[in-house]
Amino acid sequence: MSLEPFRSSDDYAAAYKASVENPELFWADISSHLKWQKPWDKVLQWDFTKPDINWFVGGKLNITENCLDRHLESRGDHTALIWEANEPKEKAKKYTYRQLHAEVCKFANVLKKNGIVKGDRVCLYMPMIPELAIATLACARIGAIHSVVFAGFSAQSVADRINDSNCKMVVTSDGLNRGAKQMSLKKLVDEALEQTTSVEKVIVFNHLDWDPEMKSGRDLWWHKEMADVSFWCPAEEMDSEDPLFILYTSGSTGKPKGVVHTCGGYSVYAEYSFKNVFQVQKDDIYWCTADIGWITGHTYLLYAPLMSGITTLMFEGVPTYPDAGRFWSVIDKHRVTLFYTAPTAIRALMACGLDHVLSYNLHTLRVLGTVGEPINEEAWHWYNMHVGKERCPIVDTWWQTETGGIMISAIAGLTPSKPSHAGLPLPGIQPVLLNGEGKEIEANNEEGYLAIKFPWPSMIRTTWGDHERCRLTYFSTYKNYYFTGDGAKRDENGLYRIIGRVDDVINVSGHRFGTAEIENAINQNKGVIESAVVGYPHDIKGQGIYAFVICDKLPENQEHVREEIYETVSSQIGRIAKPDKIQFVSGLPKTRSGKIMRRILRKVAEGEISALGDTSTLLDPTVVEEIIAGKL
């Protein structure tokens, strides 16, 4: 039943060629390795202009049968999940496939018992504990649409997301551990629910023994609910195009949008891309350090490794607790073979010196991966030399929440891995570079806007509740292409190097924020009249957040107002979106039509003052001088 990854560069080339020449035949073959409840009638029907994208039309399946049930017979006693706690002293928890299957079925029954049916939305706002994995899979088991909200987001963000998709239930915990700190979650849920009306039940996992207030009739304890349910629950029959989950992500305008992924194509592509990129072997112990609250956690911590039948490791803590050797100690402790992390984590650990990493053996490692942002050459070499000991191929995987799975990446050990280059597209993926007029750039050694010209199974289908927004954001900039929002360059050998976003989105430590979203939060602060936010290069985070703020009068105590702004941003979005620098200004560079010229602010924030370009079209060029003089 298993799908064997290709094992040579020729296999890759042949697969790529086949996938472009006859995509339907290609994906028909790949999809046949999954367990379908009913075979599909047609592989693909599509129209990018609407967009209307249908993969494996008429097919029925349940992703949890592919993650769990299909392994029970052959490897039911194999470890599916290892959980490493925040505290190194705490014993790791392990679940075999059989145990995980039972827990998922039990929680699926809890969902059902509390009125959740196929198609209902369930918000999961939880720490990185096994129960988050179990709750996510339990939703999929019964066809409820999960919307996982990263536990670093604020009560306001949770409320917005619950309201956008009318979630009927929230699953949370009393609190969470984050290194030396602990934080409440249930309290934030209570706050969020003051602004919502759709939520009927809240299930609370007791993680820290905190004894939070429980609202009678609404709030239920996880352990009590789990006490008397059956450990068998049939897998709901899901259409290929039924939604599997919603995941909110920021764009250049407005509130975060709910990216919708569907059951069939997502399952097929998650498993295929994972097995090939990481060259998975059946006894691999794989660790993806991403939180399940992001797409990387969905696809490559949870679904793909379980579909592949290997062991996936989940870590509650942070890379620097109790010290900067924690990642390496966990790798040795659990004999991790495949390791997938973010460049920002590598840079942060790099800054802590070599002693930590050199005190561990790391000899079980076979493949290293990165994701989320461009990796600079220095970090790439450090990772290669000190973590991989120059014997582990590095895969720099480019993809997005919207793409569902890895699009451009080296295939570990088979296709070229060049520092700061994602590499070649995966089979089935047809990237193009477009020029300013939307024409395809054929030549190599050129730079352009990165777009995709043919559908792939795990692509975004819609944005929840607002299909037009999906069309406008991704399918209208260039007709008949999916537009990524990234700029890229193709080298002389056709390897792609991702340059970064070309829209008003900034990527902070691999997390995406719209500048407008942060500005809206800053503007809610008393005394703030207007603000403009741009990204600037940051040694550890990749991009830092630089805010230019106009107040009604220049604050006497700037530190005080800065603190207030941090507070507002933390409560509106979450502490992860706090600006790194706040400069108070008396005006912003605007065109005569009133549009803020971000290009100029970006240059100032980057410190490239000599390259400001033409400022003659500005309404008031003198504000630029003031801004330069006050640069932080």
User: Cis ω on the peptide bond leading into residue 343 (within 30° of 0)?
Assistant: no
How far apart are alpha carbons 317 and 476 in whole angstroms? 41
Q: Are 189 and 139 in contact (CB under 8 A)?
A: no
What are 504's two structure tokens?
């008003």
Spatial CA neighbour of 587 closest among 628, 616, 620: 620
* Dihedral angle sign, alpha carbons of residues 348, 354, 358, 360: negative
Query: In terms of residues, how long is the chain?
Result: 632
* Dihedral angle sign, alpha carbons of residues 538, 540, 542, 545: negative
Residue 467 CB, shortest distance to ligand WT7, in Å, is 19
Q: Closer CB to ligand WT7, residue 19 or residue 296?
A: 296
Q: Closer CB to ligand WT7, residue 75 or residue 489?
A: 489
Which residue's CB comes closest to ligand WT7? 401
DSSP state of 251: -
Q: Closer CB to ligand WT7, residue 152 or residue 510?
A: 510
Q: Which residues of 198-237 are buried (b: 16+ CB within 10 A; e: fewer)?
A: ebebbbbbbbbeeebeeeeeebbebeebbeebeeebebbe
Residue 488 CB, shortest distance to ligand WT7, in Å, is 9
Residue 476 CB, shortest distance to ligand WT7, in Å, is 18
Q: Closer CB to ligand WT7, residue 226 or residue 345?
A: 345
How far apart are alpha carbons 376 and 347 in whole angstroms? 9
How far apart are alpha carbons 343 and 613 in whole angstroms? 31
Q: Closer CB to ligand WT7, residue 252 or residue 329?
A: 252
Q: Closer CB to ligand WT7, residue 54 or residue 279?
A: 279
Q: Closer CB to ligand WT7, residue 165 or residue 401?
A: 401
Phi/psi of residue 531, each to 5°?
A: -150, 160
Q: Closer CB to ligand WT7, residue 404 or residue 589?
A: 404
Residue 448 CB, shortest distance to ligand WT7, in Å, is 15
Residue 397 CB, shortest distance to ligand WT7, in Å, is 5
Q: Alpha carbon 456 to chain centroid distance? A: 18
Residue 417 CB, shortest distance to ligand WT7, in Å, is 12
Residue 424 CB, shortest distance to ligand WT7, in Å, is 13
The two beta strands, 482-490 and 446-452, are antiparallel
Residue 575 CB, shortest distance to ligand WT7, in Å, is 17
User: Cis ω on the peptide bond leading into residue 322 (within 30° of 0)?
Assistant: yes
Q: Are 288 and 315 in contact (CB under 8 A)?
A: no
Residue 374 CB, shortest distance to ligand WT7, in Å, is 4
- The owner of tokens 């764009």 is 251
Q: Closer CB to ligand WT7, residue 332 or residue 447?
A: 447
Q: Which residues bind ligand WT7 (CB under 6 A)?
A: 249, 294-296, 371-374, 396-401, 422, 484-486, 498, 500-501, 507, 510, 512
Phi/psi of residue 541, each to 5°?
A: -80, -5
Q: Closer CB to ligand WT7, residue 56 or residue 399?
A: 399
Residue 52 CB, shortest distance to ligand WT7, in Å, is 23
Three-state helix/strand/coil letters over 466-519: CHHHHHHHHHCCCCCCEEEEEEEEECCCCCEEEEEECCCEEEECCEEEEHHHHH
How far apart are alpha carbons 480 and 464 in whole angstroms? 22
Q: Closer CB to ligand WT7, residue 200 or residue 491?
A: 491
DSSP state of 363: T
Residue 94 CB, shortest distance to ligand WT7, in Å, is 27
Q: Closer CB to ligand WT7, residue 154 or residue 296?
A: 296
Which ranges of 206-262 does DSSP label H, i.e. alpha helix? 222-226
Residue 398 CB, shortest distance to ligand WT7, in Å, is 4
